[in-house]
Amino acid sequence: MKFVLSLFAVCFLFLAIGAGVVSYGYTVYSAAGPLKQPVHVTVPKGTGVSSITSLLEENGVIDNPLLFKVATRLTDKHASLKAGEYEFLPRASMSEVLSKLEQGDIILRQVTIPEGLTSFEIMRLLKNDKGLKQDYEGVPEEGSLLPNTYAYQKGDGTAFIIEQMQDAMKTTLDKAWDARVNDLPFDSKEEAIIMASIIEKETGVSGERGDVAGVFTNRLRKGMPLQTDPTVIYAITGGKHKNDGKGPLGRRLLRKDMSIDSAYNTYKYPGLPKGPICNPGKASIEAALNPASNDYIYFVADGSGGHIFAKTLAEHNKNVAQWRKIRRSQ
């Protein structure tokens, strides 16, 4: 009987000690951590629990590596910790740190590419992003990049963004091409991008894109020159637009510019120019392939950011005269 009581007492003691250890461990696991200021820690792909623990300890995020390793096992999170760049806040507990790693709550870096930039301008923008490695040589083909906001992580480079943009452009163009209307005055996806690039440069008003596309579609069908200023600007600059706040040329477009001998000059040569003049967005691509059904042949700025459309030259000349009055007043 004494032996049974002694055995019971020993078991009770071990249980009490175990419960105390578990209670202590949970308290430490849930308590505020040692970090005194925010810190960024990058976990490379393929990093195991031991290496992650070492990274956290080295950066002052945790101070009890053994308990952290045990916690990852007991919570069954050891196989689900994700790579990436993390920001850990002051006093973050082990519980919070482990949860962040399991959820993959990484720092998301982003770069936004506006519609209508040339490939040269896009590369200039990417080169100014300090978070990106500069690992892309040259300038991508004009019209091959889809403007949008793209996410990246620390260590990614300009080549990664360019690849995303090219893939997105191909996907968007393929989908829009499949949904195109019949009887367009061009026959290829390459020509669709050329048309979309002109639409993109002619208007930034979303509700106008269809009508602008309609004008250029009507002109192509009639064999009329497109006579669009942005193509002349591209003929002069080759897409290497100035960035001094005075427009792509650094000056106003002049009448003599309209006679420049270039396959991009739609005043001198009818039809589409030989290539895109910028990288158009999704809306302009869709407008190019689904133009509004209208009888418009002309359009001119209305002074408020949009345009006035006309079916006849006489009507257009009145609109131009009105625009000139507005421009003089400005």
Q: For 59-79, how does the pLDDT look when each residue is reduced to its tens digit (9 = 90+)?
A: 999 999 999 999 998 888 888
Average pLDDT of the segment spanning 87-112? 92
| 169: pLDDT strictly greater than 80 | yes
Query: What was the pLDDT predicted at 21?
Result: 44
Query: What was the pLDDT predicted at 78?
Result: 81
170 CB-near residues (< 8 Å, 6+ apart): none
CA gap 66, 314 in Å, rounded:
85
* Percent of all residues in the chain with a pLDDT value above 90, rounded to a whole number: 68
Angle at Cα 282 formed by Cα 279 and Cα 285, nearest 5°?
75
Q: How do beta strands 84-88 and 39-43 pair?
A: antiparallel
Query: What was the pLDDT predicted at 12?
Result: 46
What mean pLDDT value characterizes the chain? 89
Structural domains for the chain: 30-107 (3.30.1490.480), 109-164 (no CATH), 297-330 (3.30.160.60)
Average pLDDT of the segment spanning 219-242? 94
**Tokens encoding 212:** 């602008």
Query: What was the pLDDT predicted at 2?
Result: 55
| 324: pLDDT strictly greater than 70 | yes
Determine which helix (DSSP H) or strand (DSSP E) holds 11, and give its type and residue range.
helix 2-30
Query: What was the pLDDT predicted at 11?
Result: 45
Query: What was the pLDDT predicted at 297?
Result: 95
Average pLDDT of the segment spanning 303-309? 87
Query: What was the pLDDT predicted at 330?
Result: 67
Q: What is the pTM of this model?
A: 0.80
Query: Looking at 4-8, 201-205, 242-246, which range is the least confident one?
Result: 4-8
Beta-carbon neighbour count of residue 32 at 10 Å?
11
Whether 71 and 51 have beta carbons less than 8 Å apart is answered as no
CA gap 274, 288 in Å, rounded:
16
159 CB-near residues (< 8 Å, 6+ apart): 135, 136
Over the range 116-151, which residues count as b (16 or more CB within 10 Å of their CB) and which as e?
A: bbbbbbbbebbeeeeebeeebeebbebbbbbbbebe
The CB-side HSE value for 139 (13 A sphere, CA atoms) comes to 16
| 115: pLDDT strictly greater than 80 | yes
DSSP at 181:
P
Angle between helices 189-202 and 229-237 (to 10 degrees): 100
| 143: pLDDT strictly greater than 90 | yes
Angle at Cα 309 formed by Cα 307 and Cα 315, nearest 5°?
125
Query: What was the pLDDT predicted at 9?
Result: 45
CA gap 105, 147 in Å, rounded:
26
**Tokens encoding 272:** 């589409």
CA gap 297, 104 in Å, rounded:
54
CA gap 190, 140 in Å, rounded:
15
Q: Is 234 helix (H, G, I), strand (E, B) or coil?
A: helix
Query: What was the pLDDT predicted at 329?
Result: 77
Q: Is 300 helix (H, G, I), strand (E, B) or coil?
A: strand
Query: What was the pLDDT predicted at 1?
Result: 55
**3-state DSSP: the chain helix, strand, coil percent, rounded to 5?**
50, 10, 45
CA gap 154, 131 in Å, rounded:
7
Q: Is 28 helix (H, G, I), strand (E, B) or coil?
A: helix
Query: What was the pLDDT predicted at 269?
Result: 94
Average pLDDT of the segment spanning 164-178? 98
Q: For 256-302, how does the pLDDT look when each residue is reduced to its tens digit (9 = 90+)?
A: 989 999 999 999 999 999 999 999 999 999 999 999 999 999 999 88
Average pLDDT of the segment spanning 239-244? 88
